[in-house]
Structure 1
Amino acid sequence: MKLLNKFLSFLKIVFPSTKTEAFIFLFFVVVYGANAWFIADNFSIIYDDRIPWDGYFSFDNRAIVQTGGGFERHPLSNYFFDVVRDFALWISGNRYDSVFRLVLALLSTLIISLANVQIFKYLNNIIQLPLKISLLILAFYGLFVTNILLSFTPETYTYTLLFLSVFNYYSARKINEDKTISFGASILGSVFIGGLTITNIVKVYIPFLFEKKIFWNWKKIGIAVSKMAVSAGVFIFLFLLRLDFNVQNFFNKTGEQYDKFSKPKVTPLWDMISSWFLGGNILFSNFEIRDYHNKDKTFYYKALFMDVYSSVVPYLFVTIILLMTIWAVFKNHKNKLVWMLVITFFFDVLIHCVLKFGLHTSYIYGGHFVFVYPLLIGWLFFSFKEKKLPLTFLYGSLLILTVYLGFTNFYRMSEFYQFLETYYR
Structure 2
Amino acid sequence: MNFKTKLIHFFKLIFPSSLTELWVFLFFLSLYGILGSYIAINYTIIFDNRIPWDAYFSFDNRSIVMTGGSFERHPLSYYFFNWIREFAFLISNGKTDVTFRLVLAWFSITTVSLAILQVFKYLKNIIRIPLMINLIIILFFGLFSTSILLSFTPENFTYTFFLLCLYNHYAAIKLKKVEKISGLALVFAGVSVGGLTVTNIFKVFIPVLFEKDLFTKWKKFGNAALRVAITCICFILLYLNRIDFKYKNIFNKTNEQYEKFSNVKSTPTWDMILSYFFGGNILFSNFIIRDKHNMKGFHFKGLIMDVYSSWVPYVFIALLLSLIFWSYFRNFKNKLVQVVMISFVVDIVIHCIMRFGLHTSYIYGGHFVFVYPILLGWLFYSYRSSPKALSFLTLTLGILLVYLGVNNYLRMTEFFWFLDSYYQ
The TM-score bracket by the shorter chain reads over 0.9
> Which residue of 2 is the match for residue 228 of structure 1?
228
Number of the residue aligned with 1:162:
162
Task: Please give the alpha-carbon distance, in whole angstroms, between the structure 2 residues aligned to 1:200 and 1:23.
Answer: 31
Shift of 1:265: 2.0
Match of 1:346 in 2: 345
Unaligned runs of 5+ in 2: none
What is aligned with 1:384?
Answer: 383
Q: Distance in 2 between matches of 1:212 and 1:387?
A: 31
In structure 1, how many angstroms separate the alpha carbons of the residues matched to 2:295 and 2:415? 25
- Quick check: 1:141 aligned with 2:141? yes
Task: Report the 3-state secondary structure (helix = DSSP H, G, I; strand = E; otherwise coil) of the residue aligned with 2:215.
Answer: helix
Q: Give the letter aligned to residue 363 of structure 2.
A: I
SS at match of 1:389: helix
Residue matched to 1:65: 65
Cα distance in structure 1, aligned partners of 2:66 and 2:264: 31
SS at match of 2:302: strand
TM-score by length of 1: 0.99
CA displacement at 1:250 relative to structure 2:
1.2
Q: Residue 279 of structure 1 aligns with which residue?
A: 279
Structure 2 CA distance for aligned equivalents of residues 97 and 240 of structure 1? 35
SS in 2 for 1:290: strand
SS at match of 1:303: strand
Which whole-Å CA distance do the structure 2 matches of 1:9 and 1:222 have between them? 28
Give the secondary structure class of the aligned counterpart of 1:214.
coil
Q: Which amino acid aligns with 2:118?
A: Q
2:130 partner letter: P
Amino acid at match of 1:104: L
CA distance in 2, matches of 1:141, 1:27: 13
- State the partner residue of 2:401: 402
| Helix, strand or coil at the partner of 1:304 | strand
Residue type of the alignment partner of 2:373: P
Q: Secondary structure at the match of 1:212?
A: coil
Query: 1:4: how far off?
Result: 1.5
Q: Is the 8 A contact 1:75 1:197 kept in 2?
A: yes
Which whole-Å CA distance do the structure 1 matches of 2:265 and 2:364 have between them?
Answer: 18
Partner of residue 324, structure 1: 323
Question: How many angstroms does 1:266 deviate by?
Answer: 1.2
Shift of 1:397: 1.0
Aligned pairs for 1:26-425 (under 5 A) are: 26-296=26-296, 298-425=297-424
Give the secondary structure class of the aligned counterpart of 2:47: coil
* Distance in 1 separating the partners of 2:188 and 2:46: 29
- Separation in structure 2 between the aligned mates of residue 119 and residue 423 of structure 1, nearest angstrom: 36
134-143 vs 7-16, greater mean Cα deviation: 7-16
Residues 165-191 of structure 1: CA distance to partner in whole angstroms, max 9, x if unpaired?
A: 000000001000000000110110011
Matched, 1:23 2:31: no
Distance, in Å, in 1 between the alignment partners of 2:419 and 2:305 is: 15
Residue deviations 1:234-260, cap 9 Å, x none?
111111111100001111111100110
Residue 380 of structure 1 aligns to which amino acid in structure 2?
L
Question: Counterpart of 2:277 in structure 1: which amino acid?
Answer: F
The alignment partner of 1:292 has SS state of strand
Q: What is the Cα deviation at residue 10 of structure 1? A: 1.1
What are the superposed Cα offsets for residues 299-345 of structure 1, whole Å, 9 maximum, x if unpaired?
A: 10000000000000000000000000010011111101001111000
Query: Quick one: distance in 1 between partners of 2:3 and 2:183?
Result: 14
RMSD across aligned C-alpha pairs, in angstroms? 0.6
DSSP-derived class of the 2:114 partner: helix
Structure 2 letter corresponding to 1:381: F
SS of equivalent residue, structure 1 residue 215: coil
In 1: Cα distance, 2:362 partner to 2:262 partner? 15
- SS in structure 2 of the partner of residue 319 of structure 1: helix
Distance between the aligned counterparts of 1:192 and 1:238, measured in 2? 11
> Take 1:106 and 1:282, find their aligned partners in 2: how far apart are those partners?
22
The share of aligned pairs that are identical, in percent, is: 56
Distance 2:147 2:361 in 1: 15
Q: Deviations over 1:31-81 (max 9, x none)?
A: 000000110100000000000110000000000000000000000000000
Q: Distance in 2 between matches of 1:236 and 1:5?
A: 31
- Encode CA deviations 1:137-182: one digit per residue, 9 max, x unaligned: 0000000000000000000000000000000000001000000000
User: Contact (CA 8 Å) 1:281, 1:370: kept in 2 or not?
Assistant: yes
Q: Distance in 1 between the 2:133 and 2:42 partners?
A: 37
Paired residues of 1:43 and 1:420 also in contact (CA < 8 A): yes
Partners of 1:4 and 1:350 in 2: CA distance: 42
Counterpart residue identity of residue 166, structure 2: V
The answer to whether the Cα contact below 8 Å between 1:265 and 1:360 also exists between their aligned partners in 2 is: no
Query: Which stretches in structure 1 are left out of the alignment for 5+ residues?
Result: none
The DSSP-based 3-state class of the residue aligned with 2:206 is: helix
Contact kept, 8 Å, 1:289 with 1:302, in 2: the verdict is yes
Query: CA offsets per residue over residues 94-145 of structure 1, 9 Å max, x none?
Result: 1000110011011100000000000000000000000000000000000000
Structure 1 segments of 4 or more deviating over 4 A?
none
Matched residue type, 1:41: I
Structure 2 counterpart SS, 1:305: strand
Shift of 1:264: 3.2
Q: Report the secondary structure of 1:216's partner residue.
A: coil
Number of the residue aligned with 1:13? 13
Deviation at 1:365, TM superposition (A): 0.1
2:370 alignment partner AA:
F
